[in-house]
Structure 1
Amino acid sequence: MNKSLRMILGVVLFGAVVAGGFAWHPWAATAKPKTGGKPPPLVGITAARTLDLPVRFAAQGHIVPLNQVDVRPQVTGVIRTVNFREGDEVKPGQLLFELDASDVVAQLHRAEAQANQIRAQLDDATRDLNRTLQLVKSGFMSSAVVDTARSKAESLQAQFKAAQADVDSSRVRVGYTRIFAPIAGKTGAVVVHPGSLAQVGDAAPLVSIVQFDPIAVEFTLPERDLAAVRDAHAAGDTRVGIDLDGATRSGELSFIDNRVNAGNGTIGLKASFANADRHLWPGAYVRVALSAGTTRNAVVLPPQAVLEGPDGNFVFQVDADKRVVSQPVTLLRIQDHNAVVDGLRSGETVVVEGARNLRSGMTVAVDAAADNTADSGARQ
């Protein structure tokens, strides 16, 4: 093939390639897949609403006696009699124990004898003083003798008062040999028996007496609930219930501690309950429900709308341009499937579903099937 023919073939092939390129370009442009940005995240929204919400708190508590006494001996002595059985119900003033009184009775007799001896000496000194006064008036003695007689009588008078105090103390100690119940209640285990030595300062009491009716329940609440409980209690608007064996018992809030526990941020409370049937037993644990009035116009959200971050609780608000903004809120409590919050106004729109991967400033798409704003507004 000569040089001219090769040039002609080259030009033809080049033209075919160029023509093919122009023909393929429009098709390629139409066939190229779209590579636009990711679609905005899909979220469900709701509107904050207001309710008149009864204030109710739940806690775990344990039953404690309102009154308990550990009976201990005031004098050392051998137990002569135990006048009750452990577990008995006793009344105030009921005789519980008698101790051997031989030693303290002997001390009483000795103190009485000493007092009587000093009393006789005092009577004799008083008569001498009176005679001396008469002799001084008659001029048979000097006045200096009167001073001596008076000093002796006054000294014996002081000794007699001290001896009389010893007698009274000994009588008290004799009384301590008979031990009576100081309160009404149920007795616990008896740790001594007739013949046992009861000593002052023993670690274990002779017996413990626990008052059963009325009885109390101790429980704690977080510090943030203190204001609501305190205000309702001052207004006489608190009620306490406990769940016992499937039945509810009602009582009265009787005590709010005078300080918050700085270690765990809780406040201690106590409620009293009638317990004539003795079903409430000291030491047992119960569930406690405390009603503390009503919160008017409480702002509430579904609990899942409230998120927790490094700086506390927050929600994502949605503006008119479908952008989300982080809004800090204070979670007051969760009650009746509602999160009671502070920091929002009624009607403000927040994300309730799909909020976990959001960031403030992002644009979102609202899932119409999960849009609860209309229902929330209807329930206000």
Structure 2
Amino acid sequence: MSTSSLRTSPLRKLLLALVVIAIVGLAWFFLWRTPAETLPPPPNPWSGPVPVRVVPASIEDLKVHIKAIGNVAPLNTVTVRSRVDGPLVRLLVNEGQHVNAGEVLLEIDAAPYKVKLDQAEGTLQQTRAQLKNAEDNLALYQRLFTQNSVAKQQLDTQIALVEQWKGTLKTHQAQVDDARLQLSYTKVSAPISGRLGLRRVDVGNLVTANDSNGLVTITQTSPIAALFTIPENQLSAVRRAFIASRDQQQPLTVDAWDRSEQEQLATGILTTLDNQIDSSTGTLRLKAEFANEDDSLFPNQFVNIRLHLSTLENVITIPTDAIQHGSRGTYVYIVDAEQKAVIRTITTGPQEGTRTAVLDGLSEGENVVIEGLDRLTEGRRADIM
């Protein structure tokens, strides 16, 4: 082998290796990299029209309410107690029954009290007879005195005796009246109209006069009241409305709703404001009264209160869900005539249910976006669904 062939062999191998590397690099560039870089970018899902649902701003009357938490309270609750002792012999009503004032609820054994009444009446009858005898003798003495047949002292003594028997008669008459009154107490009557609670004694039990536990309770349910509180910063508005309502003889209305605020239970009127603010809570107690003829309100029931202060007439309203809050303040999205989203800064007023009054920033009929807000931007096209 010659010396020149030995020198050229490594050089040829090096050139061959460089050529192979170049071919592999070109193949990678054209077969893999180039197609990926030349593909068009994927479409942007946020660049097209946004489907939205809109509601036109409308003009209507909107009630201004104050919301509060309250409890139903009976106007009167009475614990019925016996005023005499004796065994209970008869029940005339059922538990939970509605009773009227003066209706007999139960009876206590009246026999001992009838005996006492008979004794008192017998004594009274004797006293009347003795008084009549004394009066007849007095008439006789007066005739004899005119004839100088009796002394003046004897006549005066007879006059005093008649007055004595008159006093005795009055005492015995009072005893009869007391016995008759005690007898009437054996029939226990309802002092007020209302609904009975669970009775605390059964027939046959010995009843004690003025027992602290009582016999049964009566709770007035019609009408009925609700007590609730308002914060101190709402006092001025409530007092102004309350005074104006009394001057106009149109009481402020109060609505009572259930715990979930899904059902309106009753409508009543505001009757009373407490005379001082509770310094520990910064609240004022108010009382409303409800007719409650259908017993929709129950004593000690929890209720949500809506106190109607006034009514905004012919005001622009929109759904509360459409209102947004951000660095620029309170605003809504509207869709203009070119189907583009426009941000409109607004001034809001009172809220009633799902509607809010707009005092400035909107006109009647403008389409306010209530769905699709999360994808909207100023000037973006909107497709109304």
Query: TM-score of the superposition, structure 2-length normalised?
Result: 0.60
Equivalence map 1:275-290=2 (5 Å): 275-290=292-307
- Per the TM alignment, residue 294 of structure 1 is displaced from its structure 2 partner at its CA by 6.6
Q: Is the contact between residue 229 and residue 284 of structure 2 (CA under 8 Å) also seen in structure 1?
A: yes
* Per-residue CA distance 1:156-208 (angstroms, 9 max, x = gap): 10111111011111111111111122333221101111111221221112111
Give deviations 1:95-126, integer Å, cap 9, x for gaps. 21011012221221121122112212111111
SS in 1 for 2:157: helix
Q: Counterparts in 2 of 1:217-228, with a 5 A limit? A: 217-228=226-237
1:262 deviates by: 4.5
What's the CA shift for 1:140? 1.1
Contact persistence 1:57–1:291 (CA under 8 A):
yes
Structure 1's unaligned 5+ residue stretches are 1-51, 296-301, 306-333, 338-380
**Secondary structure in structure 1 of the residue aligned to 2:192:** coil
Give how far 1:265 is off: 3.7
1:68-83 equivalences under 5 Å are 68-83=77-92
Q: Report the counterpart of residue 109 of structure 1 in structure 2.
A: 118
Query: 1:53, CA displacement in angstroms?
Result: 9.7
1:256 maps onto 2:273 in alignment? yes
Aligned equivalents of 2:326, 2:120: Cα separation in 1:
81
- Counterpart among 241, 255, 259 of residue 241 in structure 1: 255
* Distance in 2 between residues matched to 1:87 and 1:225, nearest whole Å: 40
Whether 2:149 is the aligned partner of 1:145: answer no
Q: 1:273 to 1:303 in 2, by over 3 A?
A: farther
Amino acid at match of 2:308: S
Size of the aligned set, in residue pairs, is 254
Query: What aligned pairs does 1:50-129 form with structure 2 within 5 A after superposition?
Result: 56-129=65-138
Distance 1:284 1:118 in 2: 60
> Which residue is 2:144 aligned to?
135
Residue in structure 1 matching 2:166, options 132, 157, 162: 157
2:286 pairs with 1:269: yes
8 Å CA contact retained: 2:257, 2:263: yes
Describe the superposition over 1:59-87 as per-residue Cα deviations: whole angstroms up to 9, x where unpaired. 11111112322211111221110111111
Contact 1:229 1:238 in 2 (8 A): no
CA–CA separation in structure 1 for the residues paired with 2:219 and 2:115 = 35
Task: Kindly indicate whether the alpha-carbon contact (under 8 Å) linking 2:64 and 2:351 is maintained by their aligned counterparts in 1.
Answer: no
Render the CA deviation track for 1:330-363: whole Å, top value 9, x for unaligned.
Answer: xxxx9659xxxxxxxxxxxxxxxxxxxxxxxxxx
Q: 1:270 to 1:303 in 2, by over 3 A?
A: farther
Structure 1 equivalent of residue 185 of structure 2: 176
Judge conservation of contact 2:75–2:220 (CA < 8 Å) in 1: yes
**Which stretch of the first structure deviates more once superposed, 257-266 or 148-157?**
257-266
Change (3 A) 1:304 1:155: farther
- 2:213 alignment partner, one of 204, 207, 213: 204
Length-normalised TM-score, structure 1: 0.61
Look up the match of 2:308: 291
**In 2: Cα distance, 1:262 partner to 1:131 partner:** 81
Alpha-carbon distance change, 176 to 256 in structure 1, aligned in 2, over 3 angstroms: same
Distance 1:212 1:174, change over 3 A: same
For residues 75 and 303 of structure 1, the distance between their equivalents in structure 2, rounded to whole angstroms, comes to 71
Structure 1 residues 143, 183: closer, same or farther in 2, change over 3 A?
Answer: same
Contact 1:69–1:209, Cα closer than 8 Å, also in 2: yes
Name structure 2 gaps, 5 residues minimum. 1-60, 246-250, 313-323, 328-348, 353-385
> Could you tell me which residue of structure 1 aligns to residue 49 of structure 2?
none
Aligned-partner residue type, residue 229 of structure 2: T
Q: 1:232 aligns with which of 224, 238, 241?
A: 241
- Provide, for residues 226-258 of structure 1, a one-character-per-residue CA deviation record: whole Å limited to 9, x for no partner: 332222122226221122251123221122223
Structure 2 residue matching 1:235: 3-state secondary structure: helix
SS at 2:201 equivalent: coil
